[in-house]
Amino acid sequence: MFSRASTKAVSAVSRLAAGRTAAVQMRTFIAPTVSRRADFVQELYLKELKAYKPTPVKDSDAVGQVATFSLPKTPKSPEEADLASSLKEYESMAVEVEGSEVDASGAQTQAVVEDWLVEEEEEGAQH
């Protein structure tokens, strides 16, 4: 009797397990059909995206949009300038020394150094 009960239990468990796997298989079988069904807007978007043909670019499209390139003028070399006159001008310049002033006659005199720090007298003696 114990063996009959155990075989019945084993068969019942195997039926339940078989029934659950079938349900799981059925769920996995049904699920992809729902996800395969695309959204209407997505289908429309993809259709329009595939049908889009861009206009070909022509060389004449850039006319009026881009300025034509022209080379700038070549700069003048410093060696080409009048070096003799600029050297003479430099030699004739008056030499400026810090702390001295130049008179109208061209003679240099020492500048008067003013005391920039003025100390105020304390008024503490009167109080």
Q: Per residue in 106-126, pLDDT tens?
A: 666 766 667 777 788 887 656
Write the CA distances from 111 to 94, 95, 96, 117, integer angstroms: 17, 15, 12, 18
Q: Quick one: tokens of 20?
A: 């659950």
* Assessment of whether the complete model's pTM goes beyond 0.75: no
25 pLDDT band (50/70/90 cuts)? low
90 pLDDT more than 60: yes
Instruction: Give the whole-angstrom CA distance, residue 61 versus residue 59.
Output: 5
pLDDT digits 0-9 by tens, 76-87: 776 666 778 888
The CA-based dihedral angle spanning residues 9, 12, 17, 20, taken in that order and rounded to the nearest 10 degrees: -140
DSSP H helices in the chain? 2-36, 40-51, 83-92
More confident residue, 96 or 78: 96
